[in-house]
Every structure is written in C-alpha cells, then in structure tokens.
Structure 1
C-alpha cells in the first residue's frame, strides 16, 4: 500500500495487487501505454491523460509529474516509510539513528544481521510479527551493527532497543 500526497493538498491510499491498482478500496480501470521512459498514456473513465515524470528524488520519494501540461508535486510513502516514521526515524534523524527500536510490541521471527556486520540503507535487519502481520525492519542508513539485544523468538515491547549501530 502506498500513501500518496499530491500538491500537499490531496491524500490518497493506493494499493497494488498483481499489477492492478485500487484507490480507496475500489478497482482502478486503467488502460496504460508507455511510449518511452518516464512517459505514460492513460485512459481512465473514457478520458485521455498524458503523463511525464519531470523530476524525481528517490531518497525523499517525491516527484514532479506533468499531466496534460499541468505540473503536480507527488510524494509517496510505503509501509516501511510508515514504520520508520512510527519509530521517529524520518529525514535527518533517520540518517543519524544509532538504535533500532521496536515500533510496536511483537515477536522477533528472524534476525538477518550479526554483530560487526556492515549494513547499507534499506538492508533487512529483522522480521517482527505484530498483530499477526510480519513487519520487515530495514536499515535507515549505512553503518555497522554494534550490538544486538534480541534473539529469534523474543517478545519485545514498543520502543524497546533491538539493535545498536555505530556510524
């Protein structure tokens, strides 16, 4: 699921399943044609839209998109971004994080790193089961795993320190 904000004004929840999209729980019936990189032609509700990605910022997950000649500022957030926000690891704070804390109470299903291991931003650190859902917690920045405070099968509380890093 993606939370999408357009022009800091309009909020949408977009779900992708098997190549099909749902907006606010309803199927989007789109006919798409991609004539070239960064360009797409869409027919939706019998109307034609030509879209072009003018610029994008991968780190901040934002883009400027031109649709039928009008520019739109688009920001997208996936489930992992939501977890990072819940842990207070957004923006500059995420780049300087020296600890990974549990975003919610749960059960550690697996550890994917070891002490002393070098990690890159986006690497999978561990899987936490909470409310019958598996949540993969990823590295917010590059660094080294200094200390691991949990093991597979441990129950953890919200805000409990799971892993400590050194920059």
Structure 2
C-alpha cells in the first residue's frame, strides 16, 4: 500500500490544490482509497499515458521521478503536479515518530538499532549530500547501509569499524 500526496506546486511550497489518497496494488487489481480502479490506461510512449477514469480523460506525462525521495513530477492535461509517496515502512516509521524530516538541521547520526560497525564510507571533514552512504551497520546478520538524511560536513566520527554500538548511540557528528 502507498499513501500518495499530490499537489500542483513543487515540494516545499504550499500547494493550492492538494490531495492525499491510498493506492493498493492487489492480486485482483489496483485499489484507490479502498475502491477498485475501473479506469482504462493506454501507454502512448515512454513515460506518456492516457487514462480514462470516472468519465474523464487524462493525458499524463512523467517529467521527472526520484525513487530515493519517492517523488514524481507529472504533467496532467497541461498542469504540473508534484507527488510524494509513502510505503508501508515509511508509514510505520512515521507512526513511531521516526520519520525523516529533511527540513531540520542535522547535527548527528544515531544508530537505528544495536549492531556492529562493518565499514565507514566517510572521513572527518568530508562534505556529504542527502542520500550519501555513511557506514554499514550489521544487525541480525543483515548489512544495513546508513545514509545521510541531509547535507553537511562531517565534524567527528564517534565509531570505528569492528565496534559494537547500541541503539541511539551517536555514530558521527556534523558541523
């Protein structure tokens, strides 16, 4: 299940018209807000579609898609729309108060779970951008790549490879 937010202005600006709905792909087909999608979709070309739904025609072109941020820029009947999507994991993290809010200044990165630091991909003084790999934390025999949730400069590394860390332990600090 995905929760999709659609607005007609770029992210960060307050949309004039915005809506949020749930999209659920199931074995039986696609469901939107719990109701079966009964429209017709035709592919017109690469990233270009025509949809007839609820007796209305939509000419849709995907202008830009960022899978990492789960954002899409669409042109629908000549109008620009910007979408954000949240999957089940995003919704669970948000419910637990662990959502990633990129508007906040990042001062440090904490361990999301107890584990072993396998490797570190950055050094003190490195400039990093949102989404850059910082380190690999092994927990329950799984390698978890910890990525930056914002941009900045690494001030201090608080851990080293081979070190065992506890949940919420500070791993590194930013300037």
TM-score between the two structures when normalised by the length of structure 2: 0.58
Q: Distance in 2 between matches of 1:151 and 1:34?
A: 52
Contact 2:102 2:150 in 1 (8 A): no
Within the candidate set 42, 45, 54, 1:35 is matched to: 45
Sort the Cα spacing of 1:87 and 1:112 in 2 relative to 1 into closer, same or farther, 3 A. farther
Sort the Cα spacing of 1:126 and 1:33 in 2 relative to 1 into closer, same or farther, 3 A. same
* Unmatched runs of 5 consecutive residues or more in structure 1: 13-22, 43-48
Report how far residue 142 of structure 1 moved: 2.0
* Unmatched runs of 5 consecutive residues or more in structure 2: 6-18, 30-40, 52-57
Could you tell me which residue of structure 2 aligns to residue 124 of structure 1?
A: 133
Could you tell me which residue of structure 1 aligns to residue 156 of structure 2?
A: 147
Equivalences for residues 22-61 of structure 1 within 5 A: 23=25, 33=43, 35-36=45-46, 38-40=47-49, 51-53=60-62, 61=70
Equivalences for residues 129-140 of structure 1 within 5 A: 129-140=138-149
Q: Distance in 2 between matches of 1:134 and 1:27?
A: 35
Contact 1:89 1:97 in 2 (8 A): no
Is structure 2 residue 114 aligned with structure 1 residue 105?
Answer: yes
**SS of the residue 1:144 aligns to:** strand
Sort the Cα spacing of 1:87 and 1:105 in 2 relative to 1 into closer, same or farther, 3 A. farther
Sort the Cα spacing of 1:120 and 1:57 in 2 relative to 1 into closer, same or farther, 3 A. closer
- Corresponding pairs, count: 145
Sort the Cα spacing of 1:113 and 1:97 in 2 relative to 1 into closer, same or farther, 3 A. same
Sort the Cα spacing of 1:83 and 1:131 in 2 relative to 1 into closer, same or farther, 3 A. farther
